[in-house]
């Protein structure tokens, strides 16, 4: 199976690690404080997970997940992620972390900020619009009635397919919204955000999203 580098060991990093380990992938996970602080988490995750620095996790992963607060974007290692698929789970909470002018004026999406920082990586926005604790528990087999759907957006078609396959492995229908320019449809306060929905509902909610206020 695949080795996935996960940068960020908070709720999303932990729960996504649990989910991907369950379907047979390996995990190399990092936080901002150093691998020595992740002993308890690695004990929980088991033998197919190991702690590392962010640069080591980025280098080890066949693809990577960025699961950190948005202000930490500039600290994501660039060179080890060159050419790789990078899943961006970040959300924009200006009241919590401060405003980003380009997001506020609509000239840049949240995921576009990471893509700007990682110019040679293939960024796909995904997993940002589900409660972290539901990632390991809400999946179901293909064909299950009313199966939960998750959406994704990215400029590289092959990268989007990688993420769609991961969604499927974890038991979710994948809804492809197209380019990163459409990724704002998954933002905080949009009808797609942290609401359980099937694929048809996800498509309808994405289409009904409105790019106003902080929802960009």
Q: What is the pTM of this model?
A: 0.96
Cβ atoms 49, 72 nearer than 8 A: no
β-pairing verdict for 26-30 and 3-7: parallel
Query: In the chain, count of helices (H) and strands (E)?
Result: 8, 8
Which class is domain 3-207? alpha beta
Domain extent listing, the chain: 3-207
The 10s digit of each residue's pLDDT in 96-134 is: 999 999 999 999 999 999 999 999 999 999 999 999 999
Look at the chain and count its residues. Answer: 216
The 10s digit of each residue's pLDDT in 24-58 is: 999 999 999 999 999 999 999 999 999 999 999 99
């Amino acid at each position: 199976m695949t080795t996935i580098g996960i940068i960020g060991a908070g709720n999303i990093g932990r729960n996504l690690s649990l989910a991907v380990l369950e379907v047979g992938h390996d995990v190399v996970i990092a936080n901002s404080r150093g691998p020595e602080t992740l002993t308890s988490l690695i004990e929980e995750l088991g033998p197919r997970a190991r702690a590392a620095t962010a640069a080591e996790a980025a280098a080890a992963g066949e693809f990577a997940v960025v699961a950190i607060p948005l202000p930490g974007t500039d600290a994501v290692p660039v060179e080890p992620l060159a050419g790789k698929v990078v899943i961006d789970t970040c959300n924009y909470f200006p009241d919590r972390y401060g405003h980003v002018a380009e997001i506020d004026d609509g000239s840049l999406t949240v995921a576009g900020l990471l893509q700007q920082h990682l110019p040679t990586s293939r960024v796909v926005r995904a997993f940002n619009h589900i409660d972290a604790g539901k990632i390991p528990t809400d999946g179901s087999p293909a064909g299950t009635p009313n199966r939960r759907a998750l959406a994704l957006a990215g400029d590289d078609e092959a990268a989007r397919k990688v993420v769609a396959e991961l969604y499927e492995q974890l038991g979710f229908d994948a809804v492809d919204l197209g380019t990163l320019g459409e990724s704002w449809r998954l933002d905080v306060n949009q009808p797609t955000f942290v609401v359980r929905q099937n694929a048809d509902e996800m498509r309808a909610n994405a289409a009904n999203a409105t790019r106003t206020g902080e929802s960009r």
